[in-house]
Structure 1
Amino acid sequence: MKRIHKRIVIAGALFLAALFLLVGRLVQIQLISTESFSKHNINLIDESVRQRTHSFMINEGRGLLLDRKGQMISAELKPAIILFPFIKEQKGAIDKVAAILDKQPENIKSALKRHEEPFVIADDQDQLTQETMEEINNLQLPGVYAQYISRTKHSPFAGALLGVTGQAPEIIKKKYPDKLEKGTITINTKIGKTGLQQAFDPFLISEGETKLIYHVDRSGSPLFGLDVKYLSPSNPFYPVSVKTTIDKNLQEIMEKSVKASHIKRGGAVLIDIETNELLGMVSVPYTSGLIKNQMLSRHAPGSVFKLVTAASAIEHQDLASGRTFDCNLGIDGKEAKHPLGRLDFSESFAQSCNRTFGLLANEMVIENPKRIDEYAEKLGLSGRSGWRGQVYHYQDFAQFPEEEAGNIWGASYDKKVPLAISQTAIGQKDVQVTPLSVARMVAAIARGGTVKEVKAATEIEYKNGTTFLSFPDHKTEDKIEPYTAKKLQMLMREVVTSPKGTGRALNELPYAVAGKSGTAEKGGSEASNKWFAGYFPAGQPKYSLVIVDLDYKGGANGVLSAYSEIVKQIYKYDKKNK
């Protein structure tokens, strides 16, 4: 009997303990941790409301990226007819909507059965005229709305440059704790993950969605009648727009030309020489994921780097003047793979003789070990090229946060090794620069020697069109002498006009081109980096264009074909828009 009584006591105690645990858990859920439940900090009140709320987002509230003419390039605005599921309870409503949209009522009924939340029944921009949308709204049917809806674009157009958005709760918590605390954003708010979306995220991040909402009961029926509310942020200044420097038409020309050239890995950069603003940027391959922008990544430039060596030789007692060089030899003094005979300095540049620039570099480094470094900096290849500075309360704001810094040397000991010096002089060994910085260098030479930061945006505008902030030009000390720039311009023109010049395929274009080719070998790989960096029109420089194929394996030169096509199409575009 005692044993049975003991078991009853133990069972009762366990039951009471379980009951207390259950009550404690309920107290925690209902009273203590309602706003930060579990390790994920779930707001149970918000989740409860969310489960009883059906909504349709009209605009996610994220700021816009505009091209230089003010056209949207990061989002698209399109007309749509939105239906709420409870429309099926209204007699005759479906027939009226179907008649206006020229649809069968049965098709709309079928769509309603498949959706438990609001959805778009029509978004054909050709079909949905302004008159059609007004006709729908004039019906004044609860649950039927004609609205222009905005959606972020994840399209190939300037994809690598503009970047992508997505959810990143951990970054949200770390980067925007104040906004989270105020409730203007949630941990699920989309942020910029790459490109300009990432760079300008502090300004573009949503201050609240614009949406249509209604509340439902357990069965999904409207909780407060057929009352759909329109909710939008109350701040009249947001969302803002970032006015970029991108020319939508030129960007499209570049993308089509690079695609037609069959460059599989590489891309193109186009800069306005007068303003040093980025007009277009293409990086391939591109997917909507987080793949690197090759135009902001550093690569071996090959003979394009001879512009640096040439500038130094010209500026210091004109080392190359009156001399000829045995271009049957390579930089190692052995027979060259492609013997070119005996050439003077200009011919060596046009035909890209490695021997000439290897010898000159060694002479200069003996005199001053920092000579190549100094001219790489003067021409904008060291460090980063994109606009950086204080913006608002951001001390080091970068318009190209993904941009990698250029590199010239590996070990400092290399400056004492003749072969290493020669390899560096022709853009091999440890030389690594970005296509953006090469385009910047070319622009500096074309404008007379002064280096400027590259801008991708000029200003940020409030919702009402007034300027929130702008990005002023920064003065720079980096420059070469005007005489040196003029001499380099002449050398670059000969690359195209000389019968044996490496850019002679570009000599018959409607815009005269000046530039420098480059081929950089990659150790242990059959592929090489194939470059052409130049500007046009040669007489009145307007555009700096750099194209690179990072996976060139011989055969047809896709870089020159793409360069040629872009120049032709820009000429037509300029002529049409004079």
Structure 2
Amino acid sequence: MRQRRIWFGLLAMTAAIAVLLGRLAWIQVIDTASFSRREVDLVANSVAQREQGIELDSGRGQFVDRNGKPITGETVRALVVFPVRQGEFDTAGAMRQIASILHADERAWTDFYKQAKAPAMWSEAATGLPVPLTASQAANIDKLGVPGVKTMDTVRRYPVDTAAKHAIGFIGQNPELVGTLYRKQLSRGSLSLTSRIGASGLEKTMESYLQGVGGTSVSLFTDGAGRPLPGLDVRLVRPGNPFYPLRIGTTLDLDIQGQVERILDKAGIASGAAVVLDAEQADVLAMASRPDFDPYRIAPGSDAWGNKALKAIPPGSIFKTVVAAAALEQGVVKPGEMFECNGSFGKYGFTCWLHGGHGHLTLEQAYAQSCNVVFAKVMQRLSGAQLQAAACQLGLDRLVGWSEETGQAGWSQFDAEERGQVFHARTPSEDEGIRIQTAIGQRDVLVSPLQAANLVVTLLHGGEVLSPRIVKDVRYATGGVARVFADRRLPAEGAQIAPRTANTLLKWMQEVVSEGTGQSLQRSKWRVAGKSGTAQTTVGGHAAVHQWFIGYGPVERPRYAVAVVAENEPENGANRAIAAFRDIMDVLAEQ
């Protein structure tokens, strides 16, 4: 009986052990990810306890220019420190050698190495960016074999000399937006609430194409004592999808873009913009904005990152192009008709910019000389509705940038493009005084540099309004095409202006340079044509002006349309816009 109880006891113990072993097998082999009510993943957490990593590349898509030159995504060699036990290794001498190789303060470097609690890159104090190493520096550091010190390639989103910053934009964290718009990406793990997404420019408008399928990281696996595990110490982890990240092919030309930016700085344009369009397709070859900004350090409250090429401001006398088009289309001015300008219109306190006036001249001559009085008299013969219609036909008071619903408020390649206006919604557009002020590009008139450059392209295409684009395609990492953005025309709002009218205005632009307000451009490397503008404004309660110049070149076979604006300049200061326009055209003449 006693033996039987012992026998049954042994059987029960054996069964309990079997159940326990089975449970352990289930936990360790079959269902490692969910073995308790708390659903703790044993394998993942055991690895996490001894794995420490750092991201080398976010996996976000990159931008290239029209020739395939990278705009973002600069690969640099960086120094990475992993917090591991140093053992018996004599680091004192190595610390001095590495500090010397880095041209760094020895104490700062030594403290960085010894106090590291997590993987970290040796970075610039001012920017937080990894310090780029030369091939020689990297080789000399690797030779030392210091525990936990490795050099490896990492990708900096924006190179130090990044061009087209305002057009490209910047990325930033926006957990609320990520949670609202990208739930699917959150659920599959390609995004987290702290992921950086596009905050402005193309980074924002092309966000859906730029999101990758995971980043590239490096991890160091150690045991409980902090020693690297043999054969598993440093592992590089990268996405297995060969099609990502995608590449955004822009229409920008990096060489032209860089030179345009330098020209704006040379001209002393502290606030303003320049746009260069390909005359054939209205592609944006360069889009520069000032003031400049650092995409890594966006100052709270600063709007320096805003793209002034897309902001609508008073255009001044470049708007006389629209008045002239309306007058020619409506036939309100007879061929060769003479007007008189004695310096004053006689109403509304309206005067000409030239003291004493221009005397007797035709509308053609008035355009070249930018005579305010003649255009005021011509505007008396036009209605506000006729002027509004002409502006729309020429691509003003509209969104012109490439969009899914071209001309509407749909998805656009251009972030925060402003449509501008001719008359404010509450302005009585048929009031004579208001019409006359509007005729010289003042009062309520607003035009963006992009619209102004595209106005010139419209004339070069006989009145057909094209839709400028800044992105031409999206490609997979393998080179295959994911999407093409074909060139487009804006849908007509009424009948477009006649080719005859467009050609007449192009000829008048030539006369602006040959005998009018743009005569200084006669020294350009090739023949150019255009129209000047000076819009009155105030800054801090003081009078100032926006200086404009728009035009095309070369005259014989137009290839480029350019718009330049220098904002908030002194009333009687040197014309920075014309100087910058000339230098930009000279650069283009060498292309």
| TM-score, length-scaled by structure 2 | 0.80
**Is the 8 Å Cα contact of residues 253 and 570 (structure 1) preserved in structure 2?**
no
**What does residue 18 of structure 1 align with?**
none
**What does residue 67 of structure 1 align with?**
65
2:318 to 304, 320, 323: 304
The answer to whether 1:383 aligns with 2:398 is: yes
**What does residue 506 of structure 1 align with?**
521
The answer to whether 1:371 aligns with 2:386 is: yes
**What does residue 558 of structure 1 align with?**
576
**Is the 8 Å Cα contact of residues 515 and 534 (structure 1) preserved in structure 2?**
yes
Displacement, 1:318? Answer: 6.3
Displacement, 1:403? Answer: 0.5
How far apart, in 2, do the equivalents of 1:355 and 1:49 lie? 81
Distance 1:427 1:94, change over 3 A: same
**Is the 8 Å Cα contact of residues 497 and 504 (structure 1) preserved in structure 2?**
yes
Displacement, 1:261? Answer: 1.1
How far apart, in 2, do the equivalents of 1:46 and 1:362 lie? 79
SS at match of 1:88: coil
How far apart, in 2, do the equivalents of 1:341 and 1:47 lie? 88
The answer to whether 1:542 aligns with 2:548 is: no
**Is the 8 Å Cα contact of residues 442 and 533 (structure 1) preserved in structure 2?**
yes
How far apart, in 1, do the equivalents of 2:397 and 2:345 lie? 24
**What does residue 258 of structure 1 align with?**
264
1:353 to 357, 371, 375: 371
Q: Which segments of 5 or more consecutive residues in structure 2 lack a partner in the other structure?
A: 1-34, 124-129
The answer to whether 1:118 aligns with 2:119 is: yes
**What does residue 128 of structure 1 align with?**
135
How far apart, in 2, do the equivalents of 1:32 and 1:341 lie? 93
**What does residue 324 of structure 1 align with?**
338
Which deviations, in whole Å up to 9, do the C-alpha atoms of 1:237-260 show, x marking residues without a partner? 111110111111111111111001
Which deviations, in whole Å up to 9, do the C-alpha atoms of 1:481-506 show, x marking residues without a partner? 221111011100111110xx111111
Distance 1:320 1:223, change over 3 A: farther
How far apart, in 2, do the equivalents of 1:109 and 1:357 lie? 73
Matches within 5 A, 1:167-316: 167-215=173-221, 222=228, 227-288=233-294, 289=298, 291-316=305-330
Q: Which amino acid aligns with 1:346?
A: E
Q: Which amino acid aligns with 1:84?
A: F
SS at match of 2:428: helix
How far apart, in 2, do the equivalents of 1:531 and 1:100 lie? 54
**What does residue 38 of structure 1 align with?**
none
**What does residue 5 of structure 1 align with?**
none
SS at match of 1:191: strand
2:458 to 397, 420, 444: 444
Q: Which amino acid aligns with 1:352?
A: S
**What does residue 569 of structure 1 align with?**
587
Displacement, 1:112? Answer: 2.1
2:83 to 61, 65, 85: 85
Q: Which amino acid aligns with 1:441?
A: L
Displacement, 1:162? Answer: 1.0
**What does residue 427 of structure 1 align with?**
441
- Aligned residues with identical type, % of pairs: 31
Distance 1:332 1:439, change over 3 A: farther
Which deviations, in whole Å up to 9, do the C-alpha atoms of 1:506-546 show, x marking residues without a partner? 11111211101111112654111110111111111111111
Please identify, of 438-447 and 120-129, the stretch whose mean Cα deviation from structure 2 is larger: 120-129
Q: Which amino acid aligns with 1:115?
A: A
Q: CA RMSD of the aligned region, Å?
A: 3.5
How far apart, in 2, do the equivalents of 1:264 and 1:31 lie? 64
How far apart, in 2, do the equivalents of 1:491 and 1:51 lie? 75
The answer to whether 1:164 aligns with 2:147 is: no
How far apart, in 1, do the equivalents of 2:225 and 2:535 lie? 67
SS at match of 2:314: coil
Distance 1:413 1:82, change over 3 A: closer
Q: Which segments of 5 or more consecutive residues in structure 1 lack a partner in the other structure?
A: 1-29, 36-42
How far apart, in 2, do the equivalents of 1:126 and 1:231 lie? 22
How far apart, in 2, do the equivalents of 1:317 and 1:249 lie? 45
Distance 1:218 1:319, change over 3 A: farther
Displacement, 1:224? Answer: 8.4
How far apart, in 1, do the equivalents of 2:77 and 2:382 lie? 65
Q: Which amino acid aligns with 1:550?
A: E
How far apart, in 2, do the equivalents of 1:320 and 1:31 lie? 92
How far apart, in 2, do the equivalents of 1:78 and 1:222 lie? 26
Which deviations, in whole Å up to 9, do the C-alpha atoms of 1:410-449 show, x marking residues without a partner? 2465222111111112111111111111111111212332
SS at match of 1:405: coil
**Is the 8 Å Cα contact of residues 142 and 226 (structure 1) preserved in structure 2?**
no
Please identify, of 224-233 and 527-536, the stretch whose mean Cα deviation from structure 2 is larger: 224-233
Distance 1:50 1:233, change over 3 A: same
1:148 to 149, 153, 165: 153
Displacement, 1:364? Answer: 2.1
SS at match of 2:474: strand
**Is the 8 Å Cα contact of residues 81 and 116 (structure 2) preserved in structure 1?**
no
Which deviations, in whole Å up to 9, do the C-alpha atoms of 1:255-303 show, x marking residues without a partner? 1110011112112111111121001111111223353211111101011
How far apart, in 2, do the equivalents of 1:397 and 1:415 lie? 31
How far apart, in 2, do the equivalents of 1:512 and 1:46 lie? 70
**What does residue 24 of structure 1 align with?**
none
The answer to whether 1:58 aligns with 2:56 is: yes
SS at match of 1:184: coil
Distance 1:124 1:522, change over 3 A: closer
**Is the 8 Å Cα contact of residues 270 and 546 (structure 1) preserved in structure 2?**
yes
**Is the 8 Å Cα contact of residues 528 and 553 (structure 2) preserved in structure 1?**
yes
How far apart, in 1, do the equivalents of 2:352 and 2:286 lie? 38
SS at match of 2:477: coil
Displacement, 1:86? Answer: 2.4
1:462 to 463, 476, 479: 476
SS at match of 2:388: helix
Distance 1:463 1:134, change over 3 A: farther
The answer to whether 1:485 aligns with 2:499 is: no
Please identify, of 270-279 and 444-453, the stretch whose mean Cα deviation from structure 2 is larger: 444-453
How far apart, in 2, do the equivalents of 1:356 and 1:319 lie? 11
SS at match of 2:257: helix
**What does residue 76 of structure 1 align with?**
74
SS at match of 2:419: coil
SS at match of 1:389: coil
How far apart, in 1, do the equivalents of 2:345 and 2:404 lie? 41
